[in-house]
Amino acid sequence: MLKGKTVVLGVTGGIAAYKTASLASMLVKQHADVQVIMTEHATNFITPVTFETLTGNKCMVDTFDRNFQFQVEHVALARRADIFMIAPATANVIAKVAHGLADDMLTTTFLACKKPKYLAPAMNTQMYENPITQDNLETCRRYGMHVIAPDSGYLACGDTGAGKMPEPEELFEYIMLELACEKDMAGKRVLVTAGPTREAIDPVRYITNHSTGKMGYAIARAAARRGARVTLVSGPVELKAPLGVELVPVTSAAGMFQAVTAAAADQDMIIKAAAVADYRPSHVGTEKTKKTDGAMSIELERTDDILAWLGAHRTPGQLLCGFSMETQNLLENSRAKLEKKHVDMIVANNLKTAGAGFGTDTNVVTLITGDGTEKLALMTKDETAHEILTRLMAMGADAGWTGGGEKLS
Ligand code: CTP
């Protein structure tokens, strides 16, 4: 996903420098051209050969080479970069870049670079919390640099507190959010629902389903990477919210109804991937239900159908997409939902199809619209997410959406 993109990684002298090797490797796997510039201090923690082996590029080490051609190359690299991330960023380098100091290769190239810049501070807690460092970080933010908040925990120096560099997977997400996709959804507001709901029986038990939230989270991630402003209303799942997405956690169908209907009017697109309970217990016990010798039954009542509500209250220009999971008569049942709930698209999948269904990383879906039916091949949920968004964006264009993406009203 990063083919043709140049990522410049600045590595400074902190113990977290070893983690940046994993980051470089992840970027290379996405076909990015990864250029690493190290400070001399950083070479005390990790060797340039590690980065050269991983990236296939010469790692520039910061003995400021006075050779003119080399300096010009650096300006060229600053120009070629699509993103520049300093990870780990020591208190020292943060102080330098906050004040425009350019006394070595890394800071020179950083100062010359006009593309998005990220700092991943990593240092001792006292240094991090020092008002001087905090002021410097504020200055960096004021100049448009992105500061990635450090994690808290046990630090290499023996202290416990803030100052730990986030794991490479998290840094990778920042780069992917910035570079992985064309921003064709910039300015669009998208609400996605995901996961199951839980309907309480008593304080101990609940009714739910097997949804893991993977499909909805994949859609939210894809939309955010394409530049949309994404709200993710999620039932209880084990997944971490994608970077750049506003998470609204809910538990029950009633909670999801409230969260979705409260935000609905502002959305250009609402995609309901959640597996919402159709029924909930009519009475929720305040105490644990004790067993008896005989059988027992639980009376259920209908929950509100959120998608149907959205279909009845849609705002001008808004696109609605529902999901349909069936075990038989997939197309017939799903088209009936499209019409009954007044939505623009139903993403239908059969639980019994190999590669589709709960918990898998792949899906096999059929997109049903007023214009027809399109069966997509087996693909990852991430790929499926992009296909769905691309179709919805095309429908938006047909409906007169403008490039700026503001909802018609
Ligand atoms: N849905 C919803 N609110 C509900 C139930 C479902 O918004 N209370 C939405 C789901 O998020 C999904 C779509 O409706 O996008 C279809 O859900 P599904 O359960 O497959 O269909 P139902 O209409 O509930 O019909 P049935 O359960 O009979 O298949």
Burial class (CB in 10 A: 0-12, 13-18, 19+), 354: exposed
Q: Tell me how far CA of residue 366 lies from CA of 300, 320, 328, 347, 363, in angstroms.
A: 31, 16, 14, 6, 10
CA–centroid distance, 293 to ligand 1, in Å, is 36
Q: Which of 59, 113, 140, 157 is catalytic?
A: 157
278 lines ligand 1 (CB under 6 A): yes
DSSP 293-342: SS-----EEEPP-HHHHHHHSPPTT-EEEEEEEESS-HHHHHHHHHHHTT
Segment 348-362, tens digit of pLDDT: 998 888 888 888 999
pTM: 0.92
CA–centroid distance, 318 to ligand 1, in Å, is 19
Identify the bridge partners of residue 300 per DSSP, sorted by sequence position. 281
CA–centroid distance, 320 to ligand 1, in Å, is 13
Segment 230-274, tens digit of pLDDT: 999 999 999 999 999 999 999 999 999 999 999 999 999 999 999
Query: In which element (H, E) is residue 345 found?
Result: strand 345-350
How much of the chain is helix, strand and coil, in % rounded to 5?
Answer: 35, 25, 40
280 lines ligand 1 (CB under 6 A): no
Q: Report the atom number in ligand 1 closest to the C-alpha of 274.
A: 11
What does the pLDDT read at residue 61?
86
User: CB–CB of 169/176 below 8 Å?
Assistant: no
Burial class (CB in 10 A: 0-12, 13-18, 19+), 247: middle
pLDDT band with cut points at 50, 70 and 90 for residue 74? confident
Q: Report the atom number in ligand 1 closest to the C-alpha of 278.
A: 8
Segment 80-126, tens digit of pLDDT: 999 999 999 999 999 999 999 998 899 999 999 999 999 999 999 99
DSSP conformation class of 265: G
Q: What's the whole-number mean pLDDT along residues 186-215?
A: 97
272 lines ligand 1 (CB under 6 A): yes
What does the pLDDT read at residue 261?
98
83 lines ligand 1 (CB under 6 A): no
Is pLDDT above 60 for 404?
no
What does the pLDDT read at residue 359?
87
307 lines ligand 1 (CB under 6 A): yes
What does the pLDDT read at residue 409?
38
DSSP 77-97: HHHH-SEEEEEEE-HHHHHHH
User: CB–CB of 83/178 below 8 Å?
Assistant: yes
Average pLDDT, the chain: 94
What percent of the chain is predicted at pLDDT more than 70? 96
pLDDT band with cut points at 50, 70 and 90 for residue 407? very low
Is pLDDT above 80 for 131?
yes
349 lines ligand 1 (CB under 6 A): no
User: CB–CB of 339/361 below 8 Å?
Assistant: no
CA-based nearest residue to 193, from 103, 117, 307 = 307
The Cα 83–Cα 5 span in angstroms is: 9
Q: What's the whole-number mean pLDDT along residues 160-177?
A: 96
Q: Whose CA is nearest to atom 27 of ligand 1?
A: 278
Q: Whose CA is nearest to atom 14 of ligand 1?
A: 307
The Cα 155–Cα 161 span in angstroms is: 7
The Cα 36–Cα 17 span in angstroms is: 12
Counts for the chain of helices (H) and strands (E), in that order: 13, 22
Confirm whether 157 is a catalytic residue. Answer: yes
